[in-house]
Structure 1
């Protein structure tokens, strides 16, 4: 019976934060022994936890250049924020500090999975990124060529706001999540974006033709504020979630596969999606036009409006989106 109760307590603990787990063990002497049985998932400073009797139960830790002690036996991820190129071994999550802007040749251990560059970094990364990296994020200032720079291990690739370099043959087929920053406005040709991509975000200034450019596996697609190109027959039927941050939205050209539509902060024009199968629509802060029932499809179940919207909503439209 006690074994069953112990299993239940441990199972419940999996839904709690580390702080909540410790509070629970302080209830009584019987509960105190669970400190040594719980697994701790919140990121913890390795120096602070190094003397704890349940030190080995931590999975996510933050380390430092001057730390020379042991690491928990159950550790899965080791976080480190670098101010220089002295990177400890075994680091899995590496984030460079804001001001770091040095060449990183041969300084990155092959244990790194998540690599994030700081805001000021703007050096070539050719031959620098190990094949262990799966999540790669560049900072605001990075604007160097990425030709033969991105390893085929990367699945999530995010460029910073100033990146505006050609991407032809530079994005590996492993990438499933791809984001471009504010300044990116390079021509995109067929196959420039690999077929593996499922989530694709174009930044604020992107305004290039996209016909035959969007891979057929993309489900999540976002266009920035300046985008003003034709999307007729350009968006594949795989897309279910579509976002426009521009002020003009070609509603009639939205593919029937789209179920979730998001309109940006500056959008302020009449809406007519009556011929679509959209179920969810999110409308930005600037919108101030009447909502008409016959301009929404029967499939609609949710409309998100900003707190700034003050116009009345037709009762028959409310009946579609308000559930009791």
Structure 2
């Protein structure tokens, strides 16, 4: 890795270097400055225009970050045909057909980009595509590559996705914070395995709207709608509002989890209104193996009570990510706890009943 703010002349960098990261403020590159053996180039926050003249980017380049300082248009024909990963920087210029090399498999579009993308513009071999925070242009059928497997939309994206807009190959989809249009049957491809819905998605789950291939579903903090009957394939559920699965909640019925075998449940309680309720394994017909708490505001100061609540769920394994703790109950009194990579302890709850902090709970 080379970090430099001085002008780089051809021959300054040894041919043995393969990865280069340029520091903030650097703005001088010439044809031949980057050795042919370099496969990874990160421009960081520099304002270098690699497209002023040909030959600056060597034909061997495989991964390229244009950086936060890059605001220029990408000129067709200037990107090497060997490129497999590209981050477009902060450019908000239209991407013309033929601009991106066919060799690309991973594309990250920068935070300021919000331009209409014409069908056929993105190379068909792209398997991973992420959009920056400002993208909110319509994605009509044919825009997204036919080989796409992973798609992450921007935090403000809220253009309705029509049937056929998402390619049949898609396996992982993050709809972003603002997507609020109701998902109907046929919008999500039949091969989809993971679906992340943002905070503004608050529609009931319509029959057959979720594909039978789905294994992971993540719901936002505002989701308090009917879950319907979840797909048979579902094995992982993440949610952020603990009222969703309370006993008298209208969001679920005895049939909601009747067809699936949920094995992992994650409560990501970022919102401060989260309380102490943890769902029992009986709700999931006893299939859950692991309960995960993330961003859980009550755990730090109410660790003891939280652990007791967890034991009542009768879920075999417990993970608290904020404190990096894993627990397996041995019985109502003793716990087997993993508190570091190399440390397992047996905890007697009777000895720590009056301690509130999880950090002291396992010291």
1:92·1:114 contact (CA, 8 Å) conserved in 2?
Answer: yes
Sort the Cα spacing of 1:69 and 1:242 in 2 relative to 1 into closer, same or farther, 3 A: closer
After superposition, residues 1-324 of structure 1 pair within 5 angstroms as: 44-45=1-2, 60-62=18-20, 65-66=29-30, 68=33, 70-72=35-37, 77-81=39-43, 83-86=48-51, 87-90=56-59, 91-106=61-76, 107-118=78-89, 120-127=90-97, 128-148=99-119, 149-168=121-140, 169-211=142-184, 212-232=186-206, 233-249=208-224, 250-264=226-240, 267-271=241-245, 275=258, 276-285=260-269, 286=271, 287-293=274-280, 294-306=282-294, 307-309=296-298, 310=302, 311=306, 312-313=308-309, 315-318=311-314, 320-321=316-317, 322=328
Structure 2 unmatched ranges of 5 or more = 23-28, 247-255, 318-327, 330-335, 337-363
Return the structure number with greater helix share. 1
1:247·1:268 contact (CA, 8 Å) conserved in 2?
Answer: no
Sort the Cα spacing of 1:50 and 1:318 in 2 relative to 1 into closer, same or farther, 3 A: farther
Two-structure CA RMSD over aligned residues (Å)? 2.7
Mapped partners of 2:292, 2:21: distance in 1:
42
How much does 1:305 deviate?
Answer: 1.6
TM value normalised by structure 1: 0.74
Aligned length: 270
How much does 1:71 deviate?
Answer: 4.7
Sort the Cα spacing of 1:196 and 1:292 in 2 relative to 1 into closer, same or farther, 3 A: closer
TM value normalised by structure 2: 0.67
Sort the Cα spacing of 1:239 and 1:292 in 2 relative to 1 into closer, same or farther, 3 A: closer
Mapped partners of 2:147, 2:238: distance in 1:
27
Residue deviations 1:92-139, cap 9 Å, x none?
A: 111112132112122222121101022x31001112111111111111
1:205·1:224 contact (CA, 8 Å) conserved in 2?
Answer: yes
Residue deviations 1:224-269, cap 9 Å, x none?
A: 11012232220011110111124214344432321111113xx241
Residue deviations 1:176-224, cap 9 Å, x none?
A: 1111011111111111101011111101110112211000111111111
Sort the Cα spacing of 1:49 and 1:254 in 2 relative to 1 into closer, same or farther, 3 A: farther
